[in-house]
Structure 1
Amino acid sequence: MRVLIVSWEYPPVVVGGLGRHVHHLTTELAAQGHDIVVVTRRATGTDAVSHPTTDTRREGVRIIAAAEDPPEFEFGRDMMAWTLAMGHSLIRAALRSLGGQGDPAAGRPWEPDVVHAHDWLVAHPAIALAEFFDVPLVSTIHATEAGRHSGWVSGPTNRQVHSVEWWLAHESDSLITCSASMRDEVTQLFGPEISDVSVIHNGIDIRTWPFAPRPASSGRPPELLFAGRLEYEKGIQDLIAALPRIRRSHPGTTLTIAGDGTQQEWLLDEARRHRVAKSVRFLGALGHDDLVGLMHRCDAIVLPSRYEPFGIVALEAAATGIPLIVSTAGGLGEAVSDPTTGLTFSPGDVAGLADAVRTGLGDPAAAAVRARHARERLTVDFSWTEVAERTAAVYLAAKRRVRHPVGRPQIPERPLPERDPAQSV
């Protein structure tokens, strides 16, 4: 199939896990024989003089990277204006390259069989391009604004983002989420009248995350690891709060935090408040090799997310052999099976977190067995070959629906009620 993928992240412009996901998905789809074109952007803060629009081919994928337009917008300060401007530049670059000059290698216009959007930031260009080419629109919802803010969408920007997500969901002819919990969340937030939602877990290339067996004993105080963005929903504050309890049964235990984000100063204050500041190290964002080295060295990785659509870090960690101790938030609860492949606790449960960590540290041999089982599961359930095949099946089944006008969404200003797990499909 000919697939036009629209993403605001694509290497070398990578903000988070979405960029890596789209890169792996597109290269695997191309390897399976599909004709893939990605429409993305150049780096933030550049312009058409320093970083003009490019049309290149790498790893079997054609990549159209649109230059940023001259108006001065900053993502953090002018998020919606910046997003709309980016969308406008993506549309123009795609139409100029595809509808005009076409594929330089083929010497003719290139038209997709399907458009695939990744998240709300590309809603406008993806909807416009699917309409222009009159083909089905498939959208992957990687997370939601309501989910990121514990159900609250009362602020002006929160409401704007939520309304764009709602619009993208209703315009899509098929939807993909990375976990069953995200499928339930999307259906609850955007209504039962949206198109079918397929659950396709994120994948991992285990070749880039080498496995190292766990030693029986390191002969030093335990070292815990957190890797990810320093944001409230990642629950790092709960891990810091649990550290004093962990250190009472396992003296000298330290916590190493790899990553950056908006909450670092607040987390530093939390470490001081709980009197563990000297036992917590903030390393900032690390390169791939340094992160792998940490995973090989530390005794366990703790991912205490309060909200987590999937949790790709859990897969990456499992590939390296580090024991997993994670919350059951969202996709983490689906990716890690307690007690077979890791240990789990309820989101926000500081006592449960401390108990899980103490259990893991108290029996290194059992932790090593769980780590081996976690690694073995990756090759079966989370390979990119499997992810790409299932995604291509969604493309093939998607049909462009008749469009009808839709009104503005009714946006709740209070958190939606908790779902009863017994009601999950």
Structure 2
Amino acid sequence: MKVLMVSWEYPPVVVGGLGRHVHHLATELVEAGHEVVVLSRRPTGTDASTHPTITHISEGVLVVAVAEDPAHFVFGEDMLAWTLAMGHAMVRAGVALGKPGLGDGWQPDVVHAHDWLVAHPAIALAEYFDVPLVSTLHATEAGRHSGWISGTINRQVHSVEWWLANESDSIITCSVSMEDEVTELYGPQLPPITVIRNGIDVTTWNYRQRAPRSGPPRLLFVGRLEYEKGVQDIIAALPRIRRSHPGTTLAVAGEGTQFEWLQQEARTNRVLRSVTFLGNLDHTELLSWLHAADAIVLPSRYEPFGIIALEAAAAGTPLVTSTAGGLGEAVVDGVTGMSFLPGDVEGLTSAVREVLDDPAAAQRRAEAARERLTADFDWHRVAVDTAQVYLSAKRRVRHPLARPDIPQRPLPGR
């Protein structure tokens, strides 16, 4: 099939797990014989004079990276305006694909949207080419805020997500919990929903057995520094863990809006000297930290999937995770890792202590987690399942949509 993917991130522009997901899916679909064009963007903060729109082939994928146009908006300050401007540039670039002499009259069989930020161009291009629109909803605004939508921008984002879901001809979610969430938030007139878990290429994550510990225990967190990731919970648990396991340290890899607040949380809990904030890590650096850690702790309060759990399992790092969303499906408690309820600092403390008290058992769980990856999270399987969604998607008759029902309640716990 001819597939037009629309994503606001694609290498080398990678913000989080979505960019890696789209890259792996696109290249795997090409490997399976499909023709894939990815419509993405140039780096944030650039302009059309220094970073014009470029079209190039990477790993068999035709990548169209559009210039920021106009380059007067700042994502963190003008998010909706920035998103609409990006979408307009993507629409123009997508339409050009179908023009003789520019895109050689290329016509997709399906448009695949990845998340709300590309709702406008994806919906417009699916209508322009008169082909089915498949959307992968990687997360929801309500979910990111514990089910509560408090601010103007939150409500705007929610409404765009609702619009994309209801304009789609088929929806993909990465976990059963996300399927339930999407159905509850955006139903009842939704198209078919298919659960396809994220994949992982285990060959890029060298597995290493844990060497006997020398020195104090080392814990690792990897992810965005946002409230829903629960970093504050592992910081709150650290003093308790250090009482039973003196000298335990925590390394925090990632960036986000809550960096200063988390620093203050570490200061309040009197563990600031035991917590190291690493910023973003490249692949080699991340692998090194995974191999050095006694456990990776992922205390998410909201998590559609949690691809870092797969990456840690592939590297052989013992897993300690909350049961939030997709993490509860990716990690089997007591078998492939240790789990605890979201926000349960006592449960988190107990799970970490169990890993540190019995390294041999932690190693066995890590080995079981690695073995499970090849069967349940293979990218080839993800691509085959996704292509089947493309084949079965049919363009639905469009009807005018009413305004969505938007929850307006304050964000709890803040």
TM bin, normalised by shorter chain, reads: over 0.9
CA distance in 1, matches of 2:102, 2:381: 31
SS in 2 for 1:344: strand
SS in 1 for 2:120: helix
1:27 maps to which residue?
Answer: 27
The one-character-per-residue Cα deviations of 1:142-176 (angstroms, maximum 9, x if unpaired) are: 00000001112121100000000000000000000
SS in 2 for 1:257: strand
Cα displacement (A) at 1:70:
2.9
CA distance in 1, matches of 2:100, 2:89: 16
Judge which range, 49-58 or 202-211, deviates more. Answer: 49-58
CA distance in 2, matches of 1:48, 1:254: 45
1:323 maps to which residue?
Answer: 318
1:210 maps to which residue?
Answer: 206
Instruction: Specify which of 159, 179, 190 is matched with residue 183 of structure 1.
Output: 179
Contact 1:102 1:110 in 2 (8 A): no
The one-character-per-residue Cα deviations of 1:201-244 (angstroms, maximum 9, x if unpaired) are: 001111111000112x2121101011111111000100010111
CA distance in 1, matches of 2:94, 2:326: 34
The one-character-per-residue Cα deviations of 1:297-341 (angstroms, maximum 9, x if unpaired) are: 110000000000000000000000010000000000000001110
User: Percent of counterpart pairs with the same letter?
Assistant: 68
CA distance in 1, matches of 2:199, 2:361: 26
The one-character-per-residue Cα deviations of 1:55-90 (angstroms, maximum 9, x if unpaired) are: 111111111111111340000000000000000000
Contact 1:256 1:283 in 2 (8 A): yes
CA distance in 2, matches of 1:330, 1:273: 29
Cα displacement (A) at 1:102:
4.8
Amino acid at match of 1:374: A
2:56 maps to which residue?
Answer: 56
Q: Normalising to structure 1: TM-score of the pair?
A: 0.95
CA distance in 2, matches of 1:75, 1:187: 29
1:419 maps to which residue?
Answer: none
Cα displacement (A) at 1:98:
2.8
State the superposition RMSD in angstroms.
Answer: 1.1
Judge which range, 87-96 or 48-57, deviates more. Answer: 48-57
Alignment of 1:97-108 (within 5 A): 97-103=97-103, 108=104
Contact 1:325 1:357 in 2 (8 A): yes
The one-character-per-residue Cα deviations of 1:117-158 (angstroms, maximum 9, x if unpaired) are: 000000000000000011100000000000001112121100
CA distance in 2, matches of 1:102, 1:48: 19
Judge which range, 302-311 or 262-271, deviates more. Answer: 262-271
Amino acid at match of 2:34: H
Does residue 87 (structure 1) correspond to residue 83 (structure 2)? The answer is: no
SS in 1 for 2:366: helix
CA distance in 2, matches of 1:56, 1:125: 20
Unaligned runs of 5+ in 1: 417-425
Alignment of 1:221-232 (within 5 A): 221-232=216-227
CA distance in 2, matches of 1:102, 1:392: 27
1:422 maps to which residue?
Answer: none
SS in 2 for 1:407: coil
Q: Measured at CA, do residues 100 and 73 of structure 1 come closer, stay the same or move farther in structure 2, by a change above 3 Å?
A: farther
Amino acid at match of 1:74: V
Instruction: Specify which of 140, 145, 161 is matched with residue 141 of structure 2.
Output: 145
CA distance in 2, matches of 1:221, 1:44: 40
Contact 1:9 1:40 in 2 (8 A): yes
Alignment of 1:294-309 (within 5 A): 294-309=289-304
CA distance in 2, matches of 1:97, 1:45: 25
1:77 maps to which residue?
Answer: 77
Q: Measured at CA, do residues 350 and 398 of structure 1 come closer, stay the same or move farther in structure 2, by a change above 3 Å?
A: same
1:421 maps to which residue?
Answer: none
Unaligned runs of 5+ in 2: none
CA distance in 2, matches of 1:244, 1:66: 48
Judge which range, 253-262 or 334-343, deviates more. Answer: 253-262
Contact 2:97 2:107 in 1 (8 A): no
CA distance in 2, matches of 1:5, 1:99: 18
